[in-house]
Structure 1
């Protein structure tokens, strides 16, 4: 389990900030994050820009079970069935 980069000071131990990602560090979602493929990782909600002041509970994330959703600070999931992410070039 790792934290979504950014917002490190305020919510680092919040359930909205911590996500379990698959892969080895160079493959899967973990690879997207650690290999610097940030446009893809950010598009999936796996990272938040460094030094961001955004609340991670407001950042949609693509979840393997729920699809697009929000993760709140208490560990609840709010599905976003109509959410359409921005296209990242």
Structure 2
């Protein structure tokens, strides 16, 4: 099987991020994708794709601190939380 070109993969992930089903997650993940996906490392893109496979309610609870974030996503969710709270320091 031929590997998907990076630009096509990024477009696909951006579309998935912007059309989640829960408007809040569309805005949060779509906003991150618009701001960071083009310059993300391959590892960050892989992580973002894994996150997009998670359920919206779980993602929302993680990013808002309502439930414990799985260890694999902890740093990324902390970054998203800072983004939505306006704390980009």
- Same fold judged by TM-score > 0.5? no
Report which structure shows greater RCO (CA 8 Å, sep ≥6): 1
Of Structure 1 and Structure 2, the greater strand share is in 1
The TM-score bracket by the shorter chain reads 0.3 to 0.5
When normalised by structure 1's length, the TM-score is 0.35
When normalised by structure 2's length, the TM-score is 0.35
The structure that has the greater radius of gyration is 2
Of Structure 1 and Structure 2, the greater helix share is in 2
